[in-house]
Amino acid sequence: MDARCGSCQGIQRIAGQRLIQRSSPTRALAAKRAFQQRSKRFCVRAETLGAGAAGKVKKVVLAYSGGLDTSVILKWLEDTYNCEVVTFTADLGQGEELEPARAKAEKFGVKEIFIDDLREEFVRDFVFPMFRANSQYEGIYLLGTSIARPLIAKRQIEIAKMVGADAVSHGATGKGNDQVRFEMGYYGLKPDVKVIAPWREWDLNSRSKLIKYAEDAGIQVPSSKRGEAPFSTDANLLHISYEGNALEDPWVEPDESMFTRSVSPEDAPDKPTYVEIEYEKGDPVAINGDSQSPASILASLNKLAGDNGIGRIDIVESRFVGMKSRGVYETPGGTIMMHAHRAIESICLDRGEAHLKDEIMPKYAELIYNGFWFSPEREALQALIDHTQRFVSGTVRLKLYKGNVTCVGRKSLYSLYDDKVASFEDDEGAYDQKDAAGFIKIQALRLRTLGTNRSPIV
């Protein structure tokens, strides 16, 4: 146990005395040693979680985009902690060339550089499970940024273990949700890891100070970065977000030139596009009969939706850290998937299953939004959701037109829809309408009782 941790030493002395008093000498000694080990582990974890950046760091894995901010962070980590920095850049389908990040890291003298293509894992193990739940935060947000963070955190921790790093670092600010999402992932996967969050530590609290630091460190500052950016963006294969600056007034409409993944609905084709999506156990597996990998399916749907002006939302959301923020999002393929999945579920799920899913969805979405992907409650809800998807297989036909998605057909071998029972024509005795009278009387019993005993006072 660390000699500096006086509180733990005090606890150990008191507990050790009690153990000796209550047990035989041999058993007491063994129990005391066991307690010392537990106390030591607790002390290390408490110090890690409470001390933040305090203490020496030997090697840190940085989530590195190659942009100005994370390049400054890389140099700041070297200057402040005098430690070795390992860079990790994730390809999540953000649609930009990532090799320049390697060149920039090499220029800093970074010896261990990781650029990982995580697109398939991202869609298969994170996006698809989330869409099985029909997840929408606050009834509208498809969680495009939120769902990417646990995968980045997971891979960072894997790399940290691989290279023997004792710390990880990210470029999220101290006012947003991402700092929480990253760090929940770090601590959930490696409880004793040191986390360095530069935006919560340094004094580079303005754009001019950041640029000055970059120039002094020999970091090239693009001319586009010298002024105040009109908005900040974050992108992956599922979506792109736009926030801040020009968008901070929730009354002001975004400029059309901002959007990159979809045409304006007004400029979309005047003729509708039809698409068929095949599902197996709750996940899309083919488009128009063409079987594709998870990432390819999402990319294909992005193109179809974007060409038809689908997937834009403009919202004010409630951040986990306590404030509200305005965000504009493009989630073209995800919007199609949401409509398609609900359509195939409508014929494959029993009413009780469907309604239960609708009840738990807000909690599930909130867990993802707040950064609790690796929590036991999220995993428990996921198990329930996945159980309901065993028979969610079939094909959905959708009509895409000027920003709208309409389901115009659905079929499944596991369909619970019976046209003979539902028909308004002669059902040949499949459903006796006279039976409805007794059903209604039983259902209305409590309402009739309430009406009798709580008659309105006029």
Q: What's the CATH code of the domain at 78?
A: 3.40.50.620
- Take residue 53 and report the two structure tokens written for it: 């950046």
Residue 9 CB burial class (10 angstroms; 0-12, 13-18, ≥19):
middle
Q: With 70 as the cut, is the pLDDT of residue 377 above it?
A: yes
220 and 132 in one domain? Answer: yes
Residue 356, in any domain of the structure: no
Does residue 129 lie in a domain region? yes
Q: Is 291 helix (H, G, I), strand (E, B) or coil?
A: strand
The active-site residue, picked from 39, 69, 71, 283, is 69
149 in catalytic set: yes
Q: Residue 87: left (phi > 0), alpha (psi -120 to 50), or beta?
A: beta
**196, 250: one domain:** no
Confidence of residue 78 (pLDDT cuts 50, 70, 90): very high
**38 shares a domain with 137:** no
Domains of the chain: total: 4
Q: Model's pTM, two decimal places?
A: 0.85
- Is the same domain home to 44 and 154? no
Annotated catalytic residue 435:
no
Which two structure tokens, joined as six digits, stand for 111?
């010896």
Number of other residues whose CB lies within 10 A of the CB of residue 425 = 7
- Given a cut of 90, whether residue 222 has pLDDT beyond it is no
Lowest mean pLDDT among 242-246, 284-288, 343-347: 242-246
Q: How many CA atoms lie within 13 A of 402 on its CB side?
A: 5
The answer to whether residue 255 scores a pLDDT higher than 60 is: yes
Residues 202 and 240 in one domain: no
pLDDT at 207: 78
* 68-77, 151-160, 227-236: range with lowest mean pLDDT: 227-236
Phi, psi of 248 (to 5 degrees): -75, -20
Q: Any catalytic annotation for residue 38?
A: no
Alpha-carbon 271 to chain mean position: 35
In a domain, 358, yes or no: no
Amino acid at 401: Y
Catalytic option among 91, 166, 178, 234: 178
Same-domain status, 120 and 251: no
* H/E element, 61: strand 59-63
Do 29 and 63 sit in the same domain of this protein? no
Instruction: Report the C-alpha dihedral over residues 304, 309, 314, 318, rounded to 10 degrees.
Output: -20
Report the pLDDT value the prediction gives residue 36, as an integer from 0 to 100.
53
Residues 137 and 265 in one domain: no
Does 177 score more than 80 pLDDT? Answer: yes
47 Cβ contact partners less than 8 Å away, ≥ 6 residues apart: 2, 5, 55
User: Do the domain assignments include residue 362?
Assistant: no
- What is the per-residue pLDDT for 354? 98
**Which tokens in the block code for residue 158?**
């894997």
Name the residue range of residue 41's domain.
6-49
pLDDT of residue 391: 98
- Catalytic residue, candidates 23, 200, 207, 232: 232
Check 119, 132, 149, 312 and give the catalytic one: 149
Higher local confidence (pLDDT), 455 or 191? 191
The CATH number assigned to the domain holding 406 equals 3.90.1260.10
| Same-domain pairing of 323 and 425 | no
User: DSSP labels for 252-277?
Assistant: SPPPGGG--SS--GGGS-SS-EEEEE
Neighbour tally for 276: CB within 10 Å: 16
Query: Which has the higher per-residue pLDDT, 52 or 310?
Result: 310
